[in-house]
Structure 1
């Protein structure tokens, strides 16, 4: 198996840097080959000005080879760092990740189907907030809802299987013991990364959505939130 580990943090000596080392080492010990993209150290240009540029094609080739995409970043203003957003904007191009036509109908494949189908996607996320604030009823919102644009609107949209975010909270306050536990948790998570169930988003099919791509009234009746777009209308907290 082959993994592409993309990470976005300005400081290699940070907790993020340590977790990247632990994660890449754990995959290697399990027999994986791992390709790393360090966006800051590589000086990746996040500005989208054209299509089909040479550096973008190289990154697409690296993503194409991967069975697993790991995207690691600190949660900044409830989203990804700008350099990572730019990587997605540039690399996930039309014709590569999306706007890939269905050979039977000619219509673009999306939401469970697409140019990146067959790959799994795991986010490794650090946050300064305490765990409760990014969990059920937390003031920041559940992490799966906070990252909806990435998990559903990017990974699932392009056909990848999005996995539950691997969230490290109170990241600024971890002592040596807590850091050791955090490292062990990441190793354990990666051991089962190809067998754990994906987030159970609904595919875009006539069984679930009408011609306006709105859920049929019979699907998750009474649920108008993001959880309605999951199997059985079950959200991350149910």
Structure 2
């Protein structure tokens, strides 16, 4: 049986580095034997706002959700592996991704059962950050995202494994924040240095995807 993967892109620009990384991840997963479903939240016009139709009766675990929510639930249920690609905003996921989790990972579906319906699935969070790897705040950002996404969401919903890979230095201008809270932006890298920088960035992202995907494949 072919393993399936859902790649969720949360970025408003189709020409963004985040979208590029999502595309690379999808192709890597397909090359590794996964059947891949790419969910571009902005392109598909997903509305992140919770509605009454999404929770017609919060306490009823067997309720019918809105048609849009039900459709996204089916895509999530079909996946063995979920990979998110998103820019890190304020040490958090973008609003559209938070809204997707709010609406789709709903009570009675993703949590609130003795046996979670998402039990055993695996999730990789690829967070692109403008901060430099040398910035002292980077470690705290990663710890905050890991606690929120791994423990507060994935574990709570029964996922078998959840991992946050924070991809630093996403900007072509080095960014650091001093101890007094001042943002310092360096000169933009150009030419061969820029090409080498983003080649290494892509390689790091793909290494995370490749290693995480391979660990979940069951031999035929």
Offset of residue 181 of structure 1: 1.4
Alignment-derived partner of residue 30 in structure 1: 32
Q: TM-score, normalised by structure 2?
A: 0.77
Instruction: Measure the CA separation in 2 of the matches of 1:89 and 1:132.
Output: 33
Offset of residue 194 of structure 1: 4.1
The reply on whether 1:128 has 2:103 as its aligned counterpart is no
Alignment-derived partner of residue 107 in structure 2: 94
Corresponding residue pairs, total: 183
Does 1 or 2 have the higher relative contact order (CA < 8 Å, sep 6+)? 2
Task: Determine helix, strand or coil for the equivalent of 2:98.
Answer: helix
Alignment-derived partner of residue 196 in structure 2: 177
CA contact (8 A) 2:155 2:162 kept: no
Alignment of 1:130-209 (within 5 A): 130-133=132-135, 138=137, 141-173=140-172, 175-194=194-213, 196=215
Going from structure 1 to structure 2, the CA distance change for 1:31 and 1:146 (only over 3 Å counts) comes to closer
CA contact (8 A) 1:127 1:171 kept: yes
Instruction: Measure the CA separation in 2 of the matches of 1:122 and 1:10.
Output: 20
- The structure in which a higher percent of residues are helix is 2
Going from structure 1 to structure 2, the CA distance change for 1:79 and 1:162 (only over 3 Å counts) comes to farther
Alignment-derived partner of residue 8 in structure 1: 10
Q: Deviations over 1:68-118 (max 9, x none)?
A: 011111000111111111000000011110011x2xxxxxx5xxxx23111
Instruction: Measure the CA separation in 2 of the matches of 1:13 and 1:183.
Output: 15
Going from structure 1 to structure 2, the CA distance change for 1:9 and 1:77 (only over 3 Å counts) comes to same
Offset of residue 164 of structure 1: 3.0
Task: Determine helix, strand or coil for the equivalent of 2:212.
Answer: coil
Offset of residue 176 of structure 1: 1.3
Offset of residue 18 of structure 1: 1.2
CA contact (8 A) 1:144 1:165 kept: no
Instruction: Measure the CA separation in 2 of the matches of 1:45 and 1:164.
Output: 26
Alignment-derived partner of residue 62 in structure 2: none
Q: Which moved more, 1:170-179 or 1:7-16?
A: 170-179
1:74 to 80, 84, 87: 87
> Which ranges of structure 2 fall in alignment gaps of 5 or more residues?
55-64, 173-188
Alignment-derived partner of residue 23 in structure 2: 21
> Which ranges of structure 1 fall in alignment gaps of 5 or more residues?
103-108, 198-238
